[in-house]
Structure 1
Amino acid sequence: MAPHHPEDVGMKAEKKAEKSPRRAVAAADRTRQPTEVRRRLIVEAAVPLIAERGYASVGVRDVAAAAGVSVGTVTYHFGSVQEILSEAMVLQIERYYTGLSEAADRATSGAEGLRLLVDALFTEDTDRHWRMWFEYWNVGEHHPDPAFARGQDRRYESWHRQIRTLAERAIAEGDLTSADLDGFTVRFAALADGLALQRLRQTPPLTVEDARRHLRHFIETELGRGPGS
């Protein structure tokens, strides 16, 4: 993938170019932190930048400013801005779906779990997640590291398993019925993605409540009502 900004080209070389004297730094800022803590700080700072501006519009200087560190600190811990942004997207995606899974697992039934899943997918706070989600998949098309694409495959497989497991549980409990769980899973994920895209673009306008309503209607139409409902 081509670098986004001139300052992102040859980040290691940039460190050599920093010849000017550094300004005095506050004592609190001079406290040395473990490498992993400092890396996490930088990655965390990149998350809202990607959500607000998009992956292609964030450069190393933007990340350094958001993290409150020097460009040299960023280039010391990361080999490229792409590495930072990739880690930031993976961090946010995994954090979001871990919370989603935990909420669904606490459900008292499979049908309730599906309802909780729908409610959690569309809230006023999830627009940022969906922006990151689409950036995540777009970046994967051109990412130079095959491990990134493999991670995407695992994430989507996990997401499909979660949907299918809840639907299977609802059927076993007699709340819903279906003869095509695999098909339901694929269509549920596709509809959620499509509604999320429409929600972000607002073409045509789509409210959170309407997005939830469409998904609930899909569940009832696809899975039907079981004899125990």
Structure 2
Amino acid sequence: MAPHHPEDVGMTAAEQPRQGGKGPRRAVAARDRTRQPTEVRRRLIVDAAVPLIAERGYKSVGVRDVAAAAGVSVGTVTYHFDSVQEVLSEAMVLHIEQYYAALSEAAEHATSGAEALRLLVDALFTEDTDRHWRMWFDFWHAGEQSTDETFARGQADRYTAWHRQIRALAERGVADGEFSGDDLDGFTARFAALADGLALQRLRQAPPLTTQQARHHLNRLIERELVPRSPA
């Protein structure tokens, strides 16, 4: 009999025949017998890794954990990925892109640049976003320790996209005549830095910080840096 393809999911002990071929074995579902396209299998594995990172932390997830969560063999994971770091890196990129895509969508529905910034601040700090910030700091720390240039570039790209998003909202407010900010690059850098710092304080709770307080600090920054224009 030909050996199983590396992409095939191995049978569990309950599904394997007994010695000598005696005894019934449980039927394997059709979806488990069908070989899935590479991109589908990779996405399945990456999707399964996201909650593991959230629950255990980036450095505490191993290849066996990912395989078990995805319902595949360890061999399937190593067939599709060069290392567990590659899996976790793609999982974090997926999580970050989904997170900021949701922020962008909320801002796009705002009627003005000022409202879009307020919505952004509200979305950055909720009880649910603690999970995102914890994952982000784990990812950031892993990047500091990694010697993988591709990994580092990926992190840099995420920061660049985040800064671009903040600046675009500020530009919208200026174009709409709501703000008179004349240093949008500086505002963008300070907004991003303050958001990161508040998120870290929020996670450490040293000193204690509520989501409402975090939002207040960011909104004060907006008010001071992007001076509202007086009605004509």
After TM superposition, the score normalised by the length of structure 2 is: 0.84
Per-residue deviation, residues 27-63 of structure 1 (Å, max 9, x unmatched):
2433322221111111111111112211111111111
Per-residue deviation, residues 187-222 of structure 1 (Å, max 9, x unmatched):
000000011111111112212111111111111122
Which residue in 1 is equivalent to 2:28?
26
Which residue in 2 is equivalent to 1:12?
none
1:145 maps onto 2:148 in alignment: yes
Match for residue 223 of structure 2 among 216, 220, 223: 220
Q: Which runs of 4+ in 1 moved over 3 A?
A: none
Per-residue deviation, residues 77-102 of structure 1 (Å, max 9, x unmatched):
22211111111111111111122122
Alpha carbons 1:131, 1:200 under 8 Å: kept = yes
Paired letter, 2:135: M
Task: Summarize the alignment of residues 2-151 of structure 1 with structure 2, pairs less than 5 Å apart.
Answer: 23=13, 24=15, 26-27=28-29, 28-151=31-154
How far apart, CA to CA, are the structure 2 residues paired with 1:203 and 1:31?
52
Alpha carbons 1:174, 1:228 under 8 Å: kept = no
Which residue in 2 is equivalent to 1:181?
184
Paired letter, 1:26: V
Q: Using the TM superposition, give the Cα deviation of residue 160 of structure 1 relative to its aligned residue in structure 2, in angstroms.
A: 1.1
Paired letter, 1:227: S
Note closer, same or farther for the CA distance 1:228–1:157 as it changes in structure 2 (3 Å cut): farther
Q: Using the TM superposition, give the Cα deviation of residue 106 of structure 1 relative to its aligned residue in structure 2, in angstroms.
A: 2.2
1:206 maps onto 2:179 in alignment: no
Out of 64-73 and 180-189, give the one that drifted further: 64-73
Alpha carbons 1:51, 1:131 under 8 Å: kept = yes
Q: Using the TM superposition, give the Cα deviation of residue 22 of structure 1 relative to its aligned residue in structure 2, in angstroms.
A: 5.5
Paired letter, 1:98: A
Local SS of the residue matching 1:141:
helix
Local SS of the residue matching 1:65:
helix
Larger radius of gyration: 2
Q: Note the residue ranges of structure 1 that are not aligned, 5 or more in a row.
A: 1-14, 16-20
How far apart, CA to CA, are the structure 1 residues paired with 2:179 and 2:69?
48
Paired-residue identity, %: 73
How far apart, CA to CA, are the structure 1 residues paired with 2:208 and 2:33?
49
After TM superposition, the score normalised by the length of structure 1 is: 0.85
Residues paired across the two proteins, number = 211
Local SS of the residue matching 2:206:
coil
Q: Note the residue ranges of structure 2 that are not aligned, 5 or more in a row.
A: 1-5, 16-26
How far apart, CA to CA, are the structure 2 residues paired with 1:77 and 1:207?
42
How far apart, CA to CA, are the structure 1 residues paired with 2:193 and 2:231?
28
